[in-house]
Amino acid sequence: MPPESTRGPNLRELESLRITRTEALPRPRRWPWAVALIGVIGLIAAGYEAWLHTLGRPLEVETATATLIAGNQPHALISGSGYVVTRDKYITVGTKILGQIVEEPIEEGRNVRKGDLLARIDDRDYEAQLRQAIADRQMAQANLELARLKADRVQTLFGQQVVSRDQLDDAENARSVAEANLNRADAEIAYARFNVSQCQITAPISGVVLQKYREVGDTINYGGDIQTGGGTTDIVQLADTDDMRVEADISENDIAKVAMEMPANVVLDAYPDRTFEAQVVKIYPAADRQKGTVKVEVRILKPDLAIVRPEMSAKIIFLAGTTTASEQPSVVIPKNTAIQSGRESFVWIVRNGLARRVPILIGNELENGLEVKSGLDGGESIILTPPDSLKDGQPVIAKPT
């Protein structure tokens, strides 16, 4: 075994020369905070740049034009919806006699004039009764002449004291009875003629046929039952087309704005492109407590009977103002433009690219806006729904609606 001095390097010495590696500790990660800080700085810079860019730029506002209405031009005040009716509502025409209908030259929807034939009842029985009544009158006339002659003779004999007073009274009484019989015969003739006239049912008004209750061949009997409605002697229902009206319910809050003879326009729902001039002719005296409304009727001045029909839906536009040329013109603005500040009312207008606060005096509330009695001349650009931060003299850009 070789001596220690000649052996290789000692293992312990080699172990002492080994370099031991140790794990490096992780460094703190600070870059996310730096990125967030940079982002915040960027946003601030962008906002500042946008503020600088916006500074001095006019505010964009929506505007509408104040409308000038001439004093002789009525304008819409309020409106209401209702139905077409007639002055006498609906007239049911019938007869007072019994019989079979032998002629009925009408149909629903047909226009008739006053005096036109609506229906004819078989009149042969009534004509025979009239002839009999005439014959009875002739007999009564003959009896009266005979009674007068007898009474005259008895009167002469009584003066000669040939006959008694009782005989004279009997002769005069017979003459009186003959006169009464003649009057009764005249009445029977009048009644028979009336029955004959009732066989010809004519239109009592000019109008349109709404409904027929009978047809040719039907027999009218008291106590009979008909399936089409109406009474047992009713024949037809008419509507008076000489006075066409529209009936509407107006709110109690607005009824003070409506007056008799007030002008109005009528627009049928079926024909929205047609407007008919009308006039208020009736304001009902009682209100409907359930609906809180008052019924109003307007008369259509020149109805087109080809399209205006009873029970059609229609809209009434009540017109404010008069038609006199001396009436001052007025200005109308949209309802959402006027602002109330205490007792003062004002609007914002656009003038020379700047917002201006203009005090106004408000008149009537109209159907299409507010009436302005003073403060505006018409034609101004009114700012719609102006922002609360709007300042007088602030630059604005008008965007007409």
What pLDDT was estimated at residue 327? 55
Highest averaged pLDDT of the listed ranges 175-184, 206-215, 338-347, 389-398: 175-184
For residue 46, what pLDDT is reported? 52
Predicted local distance difference test score (pLDDT) of residue 178 = 92
Residue carrying structure tokens 């009644």: 191
CB atoms within 10 A of CB 200: 14
Rounded Cα distance between 250 and 269, Å, is 18
d(CA 35, CA 376): 58
Give the residue with greater pLDDT, 320 vs 367. 320
Domains in the chain, CATH or no CATH each: 60-74+327-400 (2.40.420.20), 77-87+243-320 (2.40.30.170), 89-121+200-241 (2.40.50.100), 123-198 (1.10.287.470)
Q: Which two tokens stand for residue 113?
A: 């004039």
How many other CB atoms are there within 10 angstroms of residue 190's CB atom? 12
Q: Which residue has the tokens 């319910």?
A: 249
pLDDT score at 51: 42
Judge contact between 233 and 215, C-beta under 8 A.
no
At 231 the pLDDT is 58
- For residues 355-369, give the mean pLDDT: 79
Q: Is the pLDDT of residue 12 over 80?
A: no
pLDDT band at 389 (very low <50, low <70, confident <90, very high): confident
**Using 50, 70 and 90 to split pLDDT, how confident is the model at 217?**
confident
How far apart CA 263 and CA 249 sit, in angstroms, is: 17
Supply the pLDDT for residue 10: 56
Q: Helix 165-198 and helix 124-159: axis angle, to 10°?
A: 160
Please report the pLDDT score of residue 294 as a whole number. Answer: 92
Asked if residues 101 and 218 have their Cβ atoms less than 8 Å apart, the reply is yes
Q: Token pair of 98, please?
A: 């019994």
Would you place residue 308 in the very low, low, confident or very high pLDDT band (cuts 50, 70, 90)? confident
Q: Check whether 45 has a pLDDT greater than 60.
A: no
- pLDDT of the residue at 377: 82
pLDDT digits (tens, 9 = 90+) for 125-173: 999 999 999 999 999 999 999 999 999 998 889 888 888 889 888 989 9
- 142 contacts: CB under 8 Å, gap ≥ 6: none
Instruction: With beta carbons less than 8 A apart as the criterion, state whether 104 and 214 touch.
Output: yes
pLDDT at 193 over 50: yes
- Residue percentage of the chain with pLDDT more than 90: 24
Sequence-ordered list of residues with C-beta below 8 angstroms from that of 82, at least 6 positions apart, any chain: 246, 247, 248, 249, 313, 314, 315, 316
Provide the percentage of residues in the chain whose pLDDT is more than 70: 79
Cβ atoms of 123 and 193 closer than 8 Å: no
Buried b (16+ CB within 10 A) or exposed e, 69-105: beeeebbbbbbbebebbbbeeebbbbbebbbebeebe
DSSP character at residue 6: G
What is the pLDDT confidence band of residue 321, given thresholds at 50, 70 and 90?
low
Predicted local distance difference test score (pLDDT) of residue 1:
46
Strand partners, 370: 333, 365
Q: Does the pLDDT value for residue 71 go beyond 80?
A: no
Name the residue with higher pLDDT: 161 or 51: 161
What is the model's pLDDT at position 79? 83
CB 244 within 8 A of CB 111: no
Q: Tokens in use for 239?
A: 């509507």
Q: Which two tokens stand for residue 140?
A: 């009564």
Q: Radius of gyration (Cα) for the chain, nearest Å? A: 50
Residues 108, 211 contacting (CB under 8 angstroms): yes
Distances (CA, A) of 17 to 14, 26, 100, 136, 236: 5, 28, 145, 170, 134
Predicted local distance difference test score (pLDDT) of residue 54: 46
pLDDT at 70: 60
- Residue 206 CA: distances (Å) to CA of 111, 203, 312: 8, 7, 19
pLDDT attached to residue 326: 42
**Taking 70 as the threshold, does the pLDDT of residue 175 lie above it?**
yes
Tokens of 169: 């009274």
> What is the spatial distance between Cα 253 and Cα 278, in angstroms, rounded to a whole number?
22
Alpha-carbon distance of 332 to 218, in angstroms, equals: 63
Whether residue 107 contacts residue 259, with contact meaning beta carbons closer than 8 Å, is answered with: no
Closest by CA to 319, choosing from 369, 276, 265, is 265
Instruction: Give 314's pLDDT tier (boundaries 50, 70, 90).
Output: very high
Which of 394, 400, 401 lies closest to 352, judged by CA?
394
Which three-class secondary structure state does DSSP give residue 374? strand
**Is the pLDDT at 366 greater than 60, yes or no?**
yes
pLDDT the model gives residue 325: 43
pLDDT (0 to 100) of residue 281: 92
* pLDDT level of residue 39 (50, 70, 90 thresholds): low
pLDDT confidence band for 37 (50 / 70 / 90):
low
How high is the pLDDT of residue 221? 77
Task: Return the structure tokens found at 306.
Answer: 């080809």
Complete DSSP assignment for 272-308: TT--EEEEEEEEEEEEETTTTEEEEEEEESS--TTT-
